[in-house]
Amino acid sequence: MTERVVRISRVAKVVKGGRHLSFNAVVVVGDGEGRVGIGMGKADAVPDAVRKGVTAAKKNLITVPLHGDTIPHEIVSKFGGSVVMLKPAKPGTGVIAGGSVRAVVELAGVKDILSKARRSTNPVNVVKATFKALASMKDPEEELAKRRRFVDGTETESAAGSGAATTN
C-alpha cells in the first residue's frame, strides 16, 4: 500500500490556559490496482496525525472498477461545497487533475483521466467528493448483465410474487 498526505492543517482549541495546538492530516492510501481509501487523523504531532490517518484510510478501502487504465464512465459527484467531475480519457492522456483529485485517482491505479473540481476547492471536501465518485462507479458489463437477468424474468417472477402478496 502506498500512502500520500494530501493536507496537514494546524488547528487550535482555546482552553483556559491559552491555545492548545494540534494537527489534522488528510491521507490517501492505495495499491495502484483499483483499491483506494481515505482517512483523517488528528494528533498533537504531525507524524502521529499521519499515522492515525493511514489507519483510518486502510479501514475504508474500496475497489474501483477500471476499464484498462481509465474509468468506465463519466461521473459528477458532490460533497459539501465541492463538485468533482471525472471523465475517462484515451490512452496516453495522463492524469489531468489537481493535487487533491490526483492523489486519489493515481493511488487507485488510474493512468488516464480528465477531471475538474468546481465550486469549493477545499482539499478535504474535494478528496471526499472524488472518493464518493469512485465508490459509485459501476462496471458497464456487470450492470448490463444484472439488467438482462431482471428483464429475462428470473428475478421478475420472484419480485412479482412477493409484491402481489403485500399489495392486497
Write the DSSP symbol of residue 70.
B
Q: Under a CB-based contact definition with an 8 Å cutoff, are residues 88 and 110 in contact? A: no
Q: Give the contacts of 160 (CB within 8 A, at least 6 positions apart).
A: none
- For residue 100, the tally of other CB atoms under 10 A from its CB is 25
Q: How far is CA 9 from CA 25, 43, 50, in A?
A: 7, 11, 11
Domains of the chain: residue spans and CATH = 2-141 (3.30.230.10)
The answer to whether the CB of 100 falls within 8 A of the CB of 117 is yes
What pTM did the predictor assign? 0.86
The pLDDT of residue 33: 92
Ordered per-residue pLDDT tens for the chain, 168 residues: 899 999 999 999 999 999 999 999 999 999 999 999 999 999 999 999 999 999 999 999 999 999 999 999 999 999 999 999 999 999 999 999 998 999 999 999 999 999 999 999 999 999 999 999 999 999 988 889 888 888 886 765 555 555 555 544
**Phi and psi at residue 40, in whole multiples of 5°?**
-125, 140
Task: State the cell numbers at 56.
Answer: 483510518
pLDDT at residue 156 in the model:
54
- Sign of the dihedral through C-alpha 31, 37, 38, 41: negative
Q: How far is CA 94 from CA 9, 112, 165, in A?
A: 29, 4, 54
pLDDT at 82: 96
